[in-house]
Amino acid sequence: MEVNEQLIQAITRAVVEQLRRNGVQPPYGQNAQKPSEPGVNTLAGKTRMRPKHSYEGAQKAPQGTDPKEIVIGVGAAFQTEIRSTITGIPLEEVIRNVKAGIEEEGMTSRVVKVLDTSDVGFMALKSAKLSGSGIGIGIQSKGTTVIHQKDLYPLTNLELFPQAPLMTLETYRRIGRNAARYAKGEMVTPIESVNDPTVRAKYQVKAALMHIIETEQLDPDKGMIPWEDGDKR
Amino acid sequence: MKRSKRIEALDQRAVNKDGFIDEWPEMGFIAMKSPYDPKPSITVENGVITELDGKKRADFDFLDQFIADYTIRTDRAVESMAIPSLTIARKIVDIETPRSEILRIISGITPAKMAEVINELNVVEMMMGMQKMRARRVPGNQAHITNLKDDPVQIAADAAEGALRGFSEEETTTGVARYAPFNAIALLIGSQVGRRGVLTQCAVEEAVELELGIRGLTTYAETLSVYGTEKVFVDGDDTPYSKTFLNSAYASRGLKVRFSSGSGSEVLMGSTERKSLLYLECRCLYVTKGAGSQGIQNGSVSCIGVTAGVPAGIREVIGENLVAALLGLECASSNDQSFSHSDMRRTARTMLQFMPGTDFIFSGYAAEPNYDNMFAGSNFDAEDFDDYNVLQRDMQVDGGLRPVTEEEVIRVRREAGKAVQAVFKYLGLTEVTDEQVEAVTYAHGSHDTLTRDVASDLMAADDLMKRGITGVDVVRALAESGYEELAENILSMLKQRVIGDYMHTAAILDDQFQVMSGVNTPNDYLGPGTGYRVDGKRWEEIKAIPHRINVNDF
């Protein structure tokens, strides 16, 4: 059997891919840091993750009046600096499924980008207050989601999905459906809790980095802006 | 590159699934000491702190001002700040220097000075410090009691078993927030079935938690969160002053409370002001002390993934626990959040609190399988009970738990389930069937139990709140359903808030409802031959693990 450079590279890629699927962090030379001299393993001096996106000219999203409307408030880095959730689900698919869930229940949706806070509870509450129905959904770029109602305390909510790595597209669709049912005043059975005690070990550092990316894109003067065609930006 | 089979084997090890990151002080990814941490300093003029850690009073943020006005003893500051940090660090380890003298010195130092003192100590010295500075003489332990279904019957059964196993406090929370009153009632009932005097809390949104406490459906509270930077405080819709007010609200009804902090939250919230994890946690603990709280839950807690991800992160965790003890606070020292795929690493992390003993080594230990732990997984869970009992036996260390028999476990689980069934029936809540009680009695976790009607449960829980049901109603329901003794136990728990003694630092109750706190049973460790030693009845209990060779039958 002839072994050439291309074949070796292809096998290496396949092995690395398999390791990743098994949840192993990348080995040397695959995005990981190599060990080096003492005092060198530091990121000191680096001040941000991504350049600041300009929202020059963006208008504030208007107050909703349609009682059938549910506002989806997405994070500041959504579809600009961050294109998929912490587990790699493309953000346009996330939005598509939430909207589809809302439509299945005969309600309508409006997407806005929240530029004044990256805290998902407040993102959801602000969206609820903007929404004609009083129900809003906040979605951080890493995938964490809250369903909120305009007259609740900020740190309470209708439904909270705190573990972003456990989210699936089906969950997002069901979130859309439940939000629509709350807006219709139905008796809603919350989506059952899921739990994975290994999530913190694997993802919390990544979550912190993604939250830094989101937070450094905040533009509080802009508030909330229309984000209907986010995927085309 | 041709891969080494050795390295490939190592890459597959559990520890390599954990998240690690280099130090990055600009974003707060730095454990013990950031180049941006302030240098210790203080100026006191006419009894007022006019300068603190390099900042003039006019430039204070609200944490600085709160700490300057309420935490630091201005009458001791000049004297304490004149003592070199290294000298204070040595006194902490020195067995000739009593705890009371350390507390006096520490009450006059600033947060930056505290961080400097801690930086002088390695982990063994920190453990020596904790052994001496812990408030209560005998260490304790706290459990998490939760499940994926928010099933109140399972909560009661797990609470009863947890109490039987030795936990002094039990904490629940919800998957679905509206379940809170059910979980609180089930925990209150179950705990007193397992052992009289166990304290219970329900960690939920602060206004709801307060209401549950005022109604007597819980017997203490823990989730009063404080943060190390002004920005994160404001994001949480709070200030040190509002937290103090909330603390007083609990105190006004005679309820035990501790605050909650822990490093890493400011990193996750993206506002660290470039300070180290340790320095920011020092500020949290100074706010806690200034607010008049008797204690704190800390040790990175839910942000341990960040703290454990940076170099010396686990050293920082025992460091921040020690800071709490140095300030005279009760320390519930975390160990309550899964942070590693590696059994070796998660055990090593816990030894730093287990060996010296803290007021609560875990805050808490998952007394259910981790898949049911609604705090997103604890560092130890129900499947580790026997490992933990063996660790106590191996090292002759009191970790707060004890071995139990299968017969006892089944008995208390069934009784707790039956009692919840009776209370729910008496109060007109959703039905608890005999089949549910039976399934829960023998269950390991919610995979083994029956499904409940969630929508009906939530309506009944809302209704319970609207009807103004209180702890006294639970007592009446039990008494009139034939559970007089259990009713008496819960009434005794409610009486604690009138007596008030359990609001003292690090208080727990024994099975006669007598308080053991840092005030009436203070830690008196001063080196070999002093302090709490595992012996007598307690040692016999720890020795009696279930799986021993029976020599007579051999």
pLDDT, one tens digit per residue, over B182-239 is 999 999 999 999 999 999 999 998 899 999 999 999 999 998 999 999 999 998 889 9
B513: confidence class by pLDDT, cuts 50, 70, 90: very high
CA distance A121 to chain B (A): 10
Assess whether B222 carries a catalytic annotation.
yes
Q: Residue A154: what pLDDT?
A: 83
CB contact under 8 A, A43 and B305: no
User: Who's near B136: CB < 8 A, 6+ residues apart?
Assistant: B330, B359, B505, B506, B508, B516, B517, B518, B521, B522, B523
What does DSSP assign to residue B26? G
Is B494's pLDDT higher than 80? yes
- Residue range B9-24, pLDDT digits in tens: 999 999 999 999 999 9
Name which of B19, B206, B370 is nearest A206 (Cβ-Cβ): B19
**Residue B441, both tokens:** 């009695």
Q: Identify the residue among A200, A209, A212 best suited for mutation to test binding to B, counting B beta carbons within 10 A and taking the highest.
A: A200
CB-based contact, B25 to chain A, within 8 Å: yes
CB contact under 8 A, B205 and A155: yes
Assess whether B444 carries a catalytic annotation.
no
B450: confidence class by pLDDT, cuts 50, 70, 90: very high
Pure H helices in A72-183: 91-104, 120-130, 169-183
CB contact under 8 A, A153 and B374: no
Tell me how far apart the alpha carbons of residues B369 and B156 are, in angstroms, rounded to a whole number. 15
Q: Residue A28: what pLDDT?
A: 44
Pure H helices in B451-518: 454-466, 471-479, 484-499
Contacts of A209 in chain B (CB under 8 A): 21
- Residue range B107-147, pLDDT digits in tens: 999 999 999 999 999 999 999 999 999 999 999 999 999 99
CA distance A153 to chain B (A): 9
Q: Which run of H or E residues covers position B51?
A: strand B48-52
Assess whether B387 carries a catalytic annotation.
no
Q: What is the dihedral of CA B132, B133, B134, B136, to 10 degrees?
A: 80
Contacts of B459 in chain A (CB under 8 A): 187
Q: Identify the residue among B237, B447, B463 best suited for mutation to test binding to A, counting A beta carbons within 10 A and taking the highest.
A: B237
Indicate which residue of B222, B320, B359, B372 is catalytic.
Answer: B222
Per-residue pLDDT, averaged over B367-377, amounts to 96
- Residue range B391-442, pLDDT digits in tens: 999 999 999 999 999 999 999 999 999 999 999 999 999 999 999 999 999 9
Indicate which residue of B107, B293, B353, B363 is catalytic.
Answer: B363
Q: Which run of H or E residues covers position A42?
A: none
- Residue range A156-171, pLDDT digits in tens: 889 999 889 999 999 9
B308: nearest CA in chain A?
A201
Q: Which domains does chain A have, with CATH numbers?
A: 69-226 (3.40.50.10150)
Contacts of B31 in chain A (CB under 8 A): none
Q: Could you identify the residue written with the tokens 């002390």?
A: B289
Q: Residue A29: what pLDDT?
A: 41
Type of residue at A115: L
Is the distance from CB of B69 to CB of B49 less than 8 angstroms? yes
Tell me how far apart the alpha carbons of residues B80 and B75 are, in angstroms, rounded to a whole number. 10
Per-residue pLDDT, averaged over B268-274, amounts to 92
Per-residue pLDDT, averaged over B239-260, amounts to 96
Type of residue at B474: V
Q: Residue A39: what pLDDT?
A: 62
Assess whether B171 carries a catalytic annotation.
yes
Contacts of B268 in chain A (CB under 8 A): 204, 207-208, 211
Residue (of B322, B390, B351) closest to B546 by Cα position: B390
**Burial grade of A34 (CB within 10 A; 0-12, 13-18, 19 or more):** exposed
Q: Residue A24: what pLDDT?
A: 54
**Burial grade of A41 (CB within 10 A; 0-12, 13-18, 19 or more):** middle
- Percent share of chain B, pLDDT over 70: 100
CA distance B26 to chain A (A): 6
Mean per-residue pLDDT over chain A, rounded: 87
Q: Residue B246: what pLDDT?
A: 96
Q: How many CB pairs under 8 A join A and B?
A: 163
What does DSSP assign to residue B14? G
CB-based contact, B459 to chain A, within 8 Å: yes
CA distance A86 to chain B (A): 13
Assess whether B144 carries a catalytic annotation.
yes
**Residue B324, both tokens:** 């709490």
CB contact under 8 A, A204 and B268: yes
Q: What is the dihedral of CA B215, B217, B218, B224, to 10 degrees?
A: -50
Strand partners, A159: A147
Least confident of A24-33, A210-219, B410-419, B432-441: A24-33
- Percent share of chain A, pLDDT over 90: 68
Mean per-residue pLDDT over chain B, rounded: 97
CB-based contact, B270 to chain A, within 8 Å: yes
CB contact under 8 A, B22 and A43: yes
CB-based contact, B9 to chain A, within 8 Å: no
Tell me how far apart the alpha carbons of residues A179 and A110 are, in angstroms, rounded to a whole number. 13
Assess whether B336 carries a catalytic annotation.
yes
Q: Residue A31: what pLDDT?
A: 47
Is the distance from CB of A131 to CB of A71 less than 8 angstroms? yes
- Percent share of chain B, pLDDT over 90: 97
CB-based contact, B374 to chain A, within 8 Å: yes
* Largest pairwise CA distance in chain B: 78
Name which of B270, B378, B458 is nearest A215 (Cβ-Cβ): B270
CB contact under 8 A, B16 and A155: no
Tell me how far apart the alpha carbons of residues A73 and B512 are, in angstroms, rounded to a whole number. 54
CB contact under 8 A, B305 and A201: yes
Contacts of B22 in chain A (CB under 8 A): 33, 41-43
Name which of A154, A194, A200 is nearest B339 (Cβ-Cβ): A200
CB contact under 8 A, A200 and B17: no
Indicate which residue of B51, B336, B372, B398 is catalytic.
Answer: B336
Q: Residue A43: what pLDDT?
A: 87
CB-based contact, B286 to chain A, within 8 Å: no
Contacts of A25 in chain B (CB under 8 A): 16-20
Strand partners, A112: A73, A226
Assess whether B161 carries a catalytic annotation.
no
